[in-house]
Amino acid sequence: MIEMNIIDKSCFSSPLGARGQMKRIVFSLAFLLMAIGVLAQKVNVAAAANLRYVLEEIKTAYVKQNPKAKVNLTFGSSGTLVQQISNGAAFDFFMAADDEFPVKLKAKGLTTGAITVYAYGKLVLYSTTLPVDKKGLDVLKDASVKKIAVANPTTAPYGERAMTLVKSLKLDETLKEKIVIAENISVAAQYAFTGNTELGFVALSLALAPEMDGKGSYYIIPQKLYEPIAQACVLIKKSSVNTEAAKFRKFVLSPANKAVWEKYGYAIPKS
């Protein structure tokens, strides 16, 4: 004989017992749904290092409008972040420094939805000791320059553009002993800002950041000299849909943030 004691019938032996059991079930379901809702509020964003200041500002505006939302920002070189995501890092949204790294994740089946270009970055030459705003690229030939900071060209798009530019100017052999490879564009900017290097190829957004703006000079490298830096984003595929991540992505791409992007020197794609 097989006994099936699935429900304790004693709790339904009276109307009061039935109502009590039902209340407990309803309360449990409500608590579960509330817990799921709280968890869904958390968004882990993997973002290119050049986005540090603009994203912090956008995050502040987003949380102000959505007080329950929790947005965690992790910054690094795009290539390093792709490697971390490929190895299972718990990110929900990826904002790269180009439009190629998101494609690599998509090819691995790790993304969901469209890959969208959110901004175009600009490459600059920065220094706290030399008048690069007046000398432009000629400063690269200055004898006083001993070290030049460049983000790792294999993992950082801004570094790749910088090294390609140096080669196109036929200065790669002349400068190869002066190039100091930084982990990402933010570190390259710090090298130049602190004087560890006389020059640094950095993102305009970092040259305009509060801690660097006005404390050095920079030269915006003409766009015709390097391939456009189209920065793209994409949602990361998860076992369960993170609606808050999709909501944050929509906010980032919102026209309401156009002024913030432009404040840090980015060009916004035409809609």
Could you read off the pLDDT of 199-216 as tens digits, one per residue?
999 999 999 998 888 889
Q: Is 13 domain-assigned? A: no
Residues 156 and 193 in one domain: yes
CA distances for 265 relative to 46, 88, 122, 188, angstroms: 21, 33, 7, 18
Lowest mean pLDDT among 2-6, 56-60, 176-180, 187-191: 2-6
Domain CATH number, residue 135: 3.40.190.10
Q: Is 57 domain-assigned? A: yes
Residues 249 and 213 in one domain: no
Q: Is 14 domain-assigned? A: no
pLDDT mean over 175-179: 97
Domain range for residue 233?
A: 39-121+229-263
Spatial separation of the C-alpha atoms in residues 40 and 24, rounded to whole Å:
24
The fraction of the chain above a pLDDT of 90, given in percent, is 80
Lowest mean pLDDT among 14-23, 25-34, 42-51, 155-164: 25-34
Residues 105 and 135 in one domain: no
Q: Is 22 domain-assigned? A: no
Using one digit for the tens of pLDDT, what is the confidence trace for 236-259? 999 888 999 999 999 999 999 999
Number of domains in the chain: 2
Residues 127 and 253 in one domain: no
pLDDT mean over 179-188: 97
Residues 249 and 117 in one domain: yes
Beta bridge partners of residue 95, listed in sequence order: 47, 233
Residues 105 and 172 in one domain: no
Residues 107 and 138 in one domain: no
Q: Is 163 domain-assigned? A: yes
Q: Is 21 domain-assigned? A: no
Residues 93 and 209 in one domain: no
Q: Is 136 domain-assigned? A: yes
- Alpha carbons within 13 angstroms on the beta-carbon side of residue 201 total 30
93-95 β-sheet, strand order: 70-76, 42-48, 93-95, 229-236, 111-121
pLDDT mean over 162-184: 97
Residues 117 and 130 in one domain: no
Residues 164 and 100 in one domain: no
Q: What angle do CA 156, 160, 162 make, to 5 degrees?
A: 115
Look up residue 190 and give its two tokens. 């710090």
Q: Is 29 domain-assigned? A: no
Residues 60 and 138 in one domain: no
pTM here is 0.83
Long-range CB pairs of 35-38, under 8 A, 24+ apart, other chains included: 38/68
Residues 103 and 139 in one domain: no
